[in-house]
Structure 1
Amino acid sequence: MKALQYDLFGDARQVLNLVELPEPDAPGPGEVLVEVLYAPLNFHDLLRIGGHVAPPALPAVAGNEGVARVAAVGDEVTGLAPGDIVVLPLLLGTWRERLVAPAAGMIPLPAGDLRQYAMLGSNTPTAGLALSEYVPLAKGDWVVQSSGNGGVGRNVIALARARGLRTASVVRRPELVDELLAAGADVVLLDGPDLAARITTAIGDATVRLAIESVGGRTADALIEVLAPGGALVRYSANDDIDQDGRGAAKDIKVEFLFVAAFDHATKIAPVIAETVPLLSAGDLRVPVEAVYDLADINAALAHLVRGGKILLRVQD
């Protein structure tokens, strides 16, 4: 069985090796044996390989999420059968051809785009949980976010719209404005000077209780400025330069860090995935894929990730 494994923490380009591993054991009670099909390559994968986030015991197989085909089911597993397509729980080491996974929370997916399904494991629950777990929101409320064009950002737009919320999204390239408006965003603004004032004008001085942030620096400061007292700035990227001057505390703003893998898969993550699948089927959510690489081409995939764009690994067909 082919897998991308590392024996030391460090730079992925230096420590990842394509190896042959023994086949996994048969699934036990409450488990399924799956064949991994596609797995995203994200910067949080690099952080884990570097030993910075949820470091695993070594040696370890890389890969934090993915989509797979059920090959066998263990005792006490209901609702799943061989051949079903499923989204995998997080942090299982998905850059390998086969693995055994807990079945709790897994649901069979309808026929659809496997590449889009592969990206439901992390970005989708990050967006959904950011919208639900930190401040109470009512239909018609505004949510502001940086990185509107990212995987999380596009999920925020789609899920917020489905939940009756409105979004103001910040982007860094002008050609993305119309693209995100077509994708369902209510307001899209270019990052830059006077961002807070431009957001406030665009949303008509509405009260904003939630900001979702991954950029840091002046962009994060602008979102804090827009937030009402008692609101929350939810971070999902490990930036160190957010709220350096205490603006959040001065306004009674909570600055929270969302690490999606810390949430229970069956009770918190899986329901957001189930909520999102119909949005994919209806065409209300799509995250553009920049390129797809085979496991053997991991160094080219890593180089592409650094250049930018959403990258997937094709584990097997």
Structure 2
Amino acid sequence: MKHARYTQRGPVPQDVIEAVEFDLPALAPGQALVEVLAAPINPSDVLTLTGEYGSLPPLPAVGGNEGVGRVAAVADDVAGLSPGQTVLLPVGCGTWATHLVAEARALVPLPEGADPQQLAMLTVNPPTARLLLSDIVDLEPGDWVIQNAANSAVGGYLVQLARARGLRTVNVVRREGAVADVEALGANVVLVDGDDLAARVTEATGGAKVTLGIDAVGGMATERMAQALAPGGTLVNYGAMGGEPCAISPGSLIFRGITLRGFWLAHWFKVTDAATRNALFAELVGLIAKGQLKARVQETYGIDRIKDAVKAAAAGERSGKVMILPNG
């Protein structure tokens, strides 16, 4: 058995992590042994390795915040869970591993026959996209939403979920080469970011009122999004892919009445009751199982190539998610 372990954090994420052998303890009451089938590398995983994420586990730690596995064994007292079942792994349990032990009650059974790589990406990005569309402002079918980083994993899910709800999207990317991929997901408008973004949004939407902006980049990209919103619109930031704090002008805040707020999925999990969380996951699992919600996987790596995988995930201009398949 192997897992991807790190004992320190540093500016080059692939330098601090390595695949090492380990032994699992015997199962305690209420526990299950799980063989990990697939686990993605998210931007938050990379930031955790560099020490820049908002919540950091104590060291030493095993990488990986989400994934899917197959139950290999259960303790004698465990009911309702059997070897061979596909399960969603608990958030933050160290999923970059060939095997792990988890509390059986924390494992969520998943439909059989669905793509495990798609299910492995369920916990972080799909709920983020869904909540950004439903919990920030009230939207009706036909309304316009603008987002940047539209070729990211969250961006791709957001396009698909918005289309299913009858919403129309303006999708901003940072390079021309990303346009076609976003269009293929069903985007209404795809634009390359630039100083004249607001004018091009007005032209592309026929002057429609855009009340919600979704920002994952920060820096001056935040202000460009604010300028594209209708007066009184809301701009929500959930990331800083540009590496800079959000920049927004007094003109946008004061004279145009733009509201800037933040969203962090980890906080939502903390303050939301279990029934609401479970209902959200059930909705998303159903869409993924039917093939109606998906994300592109750029490349897969075995656990022994964890350094290469993290390096690839940290690089720019990717066209999909980097996925760890710990057991090949």
**1:143 aligns to what SS in structure 2?**
strand
Residue number in structure 2 paired with 1:132:
134
Judging changes above 3 Å, is the alpha-carbon distance between structure 1 residues 102 and 230 closer, same or farther for their aligned structure 2 residues?
farther
Indicate the residue corresponding to 1:17 in structure 2.
18
- Counterpart of 1:49? 49
Amino acid at match of 1:65: E
2:326 aligned partner: 315
**Partner secondary structure for residue 4 of structure 1:** strand
Which of the residues 237, 240, 256 maps onto 2:239? 237
Q: Higher mean Cα deviation, 223-232 or 39-48?
A: 223-232
Provide TM-score, normalisation by structure 2. 0.85
Residue 216 (structure 1) aligns with? 218
Pick which of 124-133 and 200-209 moved more.
200-209
In 2, the alpha carbon distance for the partners of 1:81 and 1:208 equals 49
Q: CA separation in 1, counterparts of 2:234 and 2:188?
A: 20
Alignment match, 2:188:
186
Residue-by-residue CA offset, 1:19-41 (whole Å, 9 max, x unaligned): 22331553654x64422111111
**Which amino acid in structure 1 is aligned with residue 155 of structure 2?**
G
Q: CA deviation at 1:160?
A: 1.2
Q: Secondary structure at the match of 2:108?
A: coil
1:239-258 CA-partner distances (Å, limit 9, x unpaired): 43322434553233332222
Question: Could you state the TM-score of these two structures normalised by the residue count of structure 1?
Answer: 0.87
Give the partner amino acid of 1:293. Y
Q: 1:63-111, CA deviations, whole angstroms, 9 ceiling, x for partnerless residues? A: 1111111334565764x44322233232111111223046358242241
Tell me, yes or no, if the aligned pair for 2:300 and 2:323 is still in contact at 8 Å. Answer: yes
The residue type equivalent to 2:134 in the other structure is S
- Counterpart of 2:158 in structure 1 is 156
1:36 to 2:36 alignment = yes
Deviations 1:250-282 (A, max 9, x none): 233332222222222844554434323343344
**Cα distance in 1 between the residues matched to 2:191 and 2:126:** 22
Partner of 1:280: 288
How far apart in 1 are the matches of 2:65 and 2:118? 16
Instruction: Render the CA deviation track for 1:265-312: whole Å, top value 9, x for unaligned.
Output: 844554434323343344443322221111111121122223342211
Residues 149-171 of structure 1 deviation map (CA, whole Å, 9 limit, x = unaligned): 11000100111122222211112
Match of residue 206, structure 1, among 205, 208, 212: 208
* Structure 1 unaligned regions, length at least 5: none
What is the CA RMSD across the aligned residues, in angstroms?
2.6
Matched residue count: 315
* Aligned mates of 2:141, 2:32 — CA distance in 1: 39
For 1:175 and 1:302, how far apart are their aligned partners in 2?
Answer: 23
Alignment of 1:24-103 (within 5 A): 24-26=25-27, 28-29=29-30, 32-53=32-53, 54-72=55-73, 78=80, 80-97=81-98, 98-101=100-103, 103=105
In structure 2, how many angstroms separate the alpha carbons of the residues matched to 1:77 and 1:208?
50
Aligned-partner Cα distance in 1 for 2:116–2:219:
36
Q: 1:89 to 1:268 in 2, by over 3 A?
A: farther
Which letter maps to 1:136?
D
Equivalent-residue separation in structure 2 for 1:129 and 1:101 (angstroms): 27
Whether 2:314 is the aligned partner of 1:298: answer no
List alignment gaps of at least 5 residues for structure 2: none
Q: Of the candidates 241, 251, 258, which is equivalent to residue 253 of structure 1?
A: 258
Structure 2 vs 1, CA of residues 64 and 142 (structure 1 numbering), >3 Å: closer, same or farther?
same
Mark the CA change 1:165 to 1:40 in structure 2 (over 3 Å): closer, same or farther.
same
Name the CA shift for 1:168/1:18 in 2 (closer, same or farther; >3 Å). same
User: What secondary structure is seen at the aligned counterpart in 2 of 1:237?
Assistant: coil
In structure 2, do the counterparts of structure 1 residues 28 and 232 end up closer, same or farther at CA, with 3 Å as the change threshold? farther
Instruction: Report the equivalent of 1:169.
Output: 171
SS of 1:70's equivalent?
strand
Q: How has the CA–CA distance of structure 1 residues 86 and 208 changed in structure 2, closer, same or farther, with 3 Å as cutoff? A: farther
**Amino acid in the other structure paired with 1:94:** T
